Amino acid sequence: MAKSIILAAGKGTRMKSETSKVLHKIFDKTLVGYVIEAVNKTGIVDENFVIVGHQAESVEKHIKENYTNSKTVLQSPQLGTGHAVSMVLPYLDNYSGDIIILCGDTPLITEKTLKSFIDSHKANNSDLTVMSAIFDNPTNYGRIIRNADGSINSIVEEKDANIEQKAIKEVNAGIYCLNWEKIKPVFKELKTNNAQGEYYLTDIIKWAKEQSLKVDAYVLKNNDEIFGINSKAHLAEASKILNQRTIQKHLDNGVTIIDPNSTWISPETEIEADTIIYPSCYITGKNIIGKNCKIGPFAHLRGDVILEDNVKIGNFVEVKKTTIKSNTNACHLSYLGDSEIGSNVNIGAGTITANYNPLTKIKNKTIIENEVKIGSNSVLVAPVEIKEGANVAALSVITKNIPSWSLAITRAPLRILEEWVTKIMKS
């Protein structure tokens, strides 16, 4: 098994935010989280070292709480990418396998590409493989310098490149695979003789060539995968790319998406064929949606939602942490949270499962069994159970369990005061 080093120490000044750059989110998942999960899904890497610096405590907390095979390593002061990698030397003193180095602000990288990259490194018996990409406009990227025979010579950063080198279109994608035992000595030999006065990770290429080690490049097929986040504009663009990728997958799998431009679906959401997603829906988190469902328009699924076949979630309905069985409808203006809802249930417009106690800060569950009918503008105050076949009258506030096949009603009796308006107008 290999190990990874993920560079996540940068400040991200252009984000103009108090939040660490790598903790910014797309679909409720952090940028560094996307990178860690892509690495983990290769099945090749068993341990990740995340290099932290700016707002180290918050990044450490996030990693510790969410990724059990990952540990953080502090880089202080921050003296460049080469210096960042050198921080793990004490942890890998006796390690002799492969190391993958990535950036924590590239959320679009996929496990498929990483696996292919690592497989290429192994197949070529390389000591060092750098991922490269071809850009028509390579501005701001380090250039891949090749020898006359096409072999890799070095990487030159943009600020250190001459005019001829700046014209090169093959660039450094910022991802490396190293034979750690052979390459690790370089991290004690890096110099700062460059425009930035930093220890460049890119200098390991030239060093490896000088040691007569085998250096190769793996050319990336989809340049979007190395899109780095350095501003809120970049974050918005990456979000759009990831969403388009996800929507295309669902379209290819037989899901009908009426308006892909106004629909947002998280990568973790699974949707079966013949389901229809209407415009202006936002689906985030991990969800499972069955066949022949209808979602939207203007629906919001907030994660941990399971919809069986033939479920209708209509306009302005919000669903969170809820399972809904087949042939159930929630068509209008409802909130369903922390709930279990059976089959052949009808949820009337304006229904709310009141799951949160603001005093205790505890969320409780609502259970609605099969064949239940909930009237419009009802409030179900959890914890509460509505048993099979029961009916809840419109405008009811339910605070007790309702027996099977019974009617629950809490509204005040209707009073009609005849000529009341006329009397008021005359007074």
Structural domain includes residue 413 = no
**Catalytic (active site) residue 332:** yes
| Cα–Cα distances in angstroms (integers) from residue 374 to residues 138, 158, 301, 355, 386, in the given order | 59, 64, 20, 16, 9
Indicate if 56 and 132 belong to the same structural domain. Answer: yes
DSSP H or E run through 39 = helix 31-41
- The domain of 272 spans 254-408
The tens digit of pLDDT for each residue in 270-307 reads 999 999 999 999 999 999 999 999 999 999 999 999 99
Structural domain includes residue 420 = no
pLDDT at 140: 86
Structural domain includes residue 352 = yes
Indicate if 294 and 150 belong to the same structural domain. Answer: no
Task: Single out the residue of 350, 351, 427 nearest to residue 386, CA to CA.
Answer: 351
Q: What are the tokens at 289?
A: 């949606």
Structural domain includes residue 240 = no
Total domains in the chain come to 2
The C-alpha atoms of residue 237 and residue 220 are separated, in whole angstroms, by 20
Indicate if 279 and 203 belong to the same structural domain. Answer: no
pLDDT at 30: 97
10 Å CB burial of residue 132 (0-12, 13-18, 19+) is buried
Indicate if 170 and 312 belong to the same structural domain. Answer: no
Question: Mean pLDDT per 10-residue run, the chain (427 residues)?
Answer: 96 92 96 98 97 96 97 95 96 95 97 97 96 93 91 90 93 96 94 86 93 95 96 98 98 98 98 98 98 98 98 98 98 97 98 93 96 98 98 97 98 91 90
The tens digit of pLDDT for each residue in 352-371 reads 999 998 889 999 999 999 99
Q: What is the pTM for the complete model shown?
A: 0.92
Indicate if 207 and 270 belong to the same structural domain. Answer: no
CB atoms within 10 A of CB 402: 21
Intra-chain end-to-end CA distance of the chain, in Å: 88
Structural domain includes residue 233 = no
Structural domain includes residue 72 = yes
pLDDT at 195: 79
The C-alpha atoms of residue 330 and residue 311 are separated, in whole angstroms, by 8
Structural domain includes residue 188 = yes
pLDDT at 282: 98
Indicate if 131 and 20 belong to the same structural domain. Answer: yes
Q: What are the tokens at 408?
A: 């629950």
Indicate if 129 and 261 belong to the same structural domain. Answer: no
Mean pLDDT, the chain, as a whole number? 96
Indicate if 58 and 136 belong to the same structural domain. Answer: yes
Structural domain includes residue 151 = yes
Counting every residue written for the chain, the total comes to: 427
pLDDT at 197: 86
Tracing tokens 């229904």 back to the chain, one arrives at: 351
pLDDT at 150: 87
The C-alpha atoms of residue 102 and residue 270 are separated, in whole angstroms, by 28
In CATH, what number is assigned to the domain containing residue 388?
2.160.10.10
Active-site hit among 121, 234, 300, 332: 332
In CATH, what number is assigned to the domain containing residue 190?
3.90.550.10
CB atoms within 10 A of CB 165: 16
Indicate if 69 and 201 belong to the same structural domain. Answer: yes
Indicate if 65 and 164 belong to the same structural domain. Answer: yes
Indicate if 139 and 70 belong to the same structural domain. Answer: yes
Q: What are the tokens at 367?
A: 């259970």
Classify 176 as helix, strand or coil: strand
Indicate if 32 and 120 belong to the same structural domain. Answer: yes
The string of DSSP codes covering 362-375 is EE--EEE-TT-EE-
Task: Single out the residue of 151, 137, 145, 190 nearest to residue 172, CA to CA.
Answer: 145
The C-alpha atoms of residue 265 and residue 256 are separated, in whole angstroms, by 13
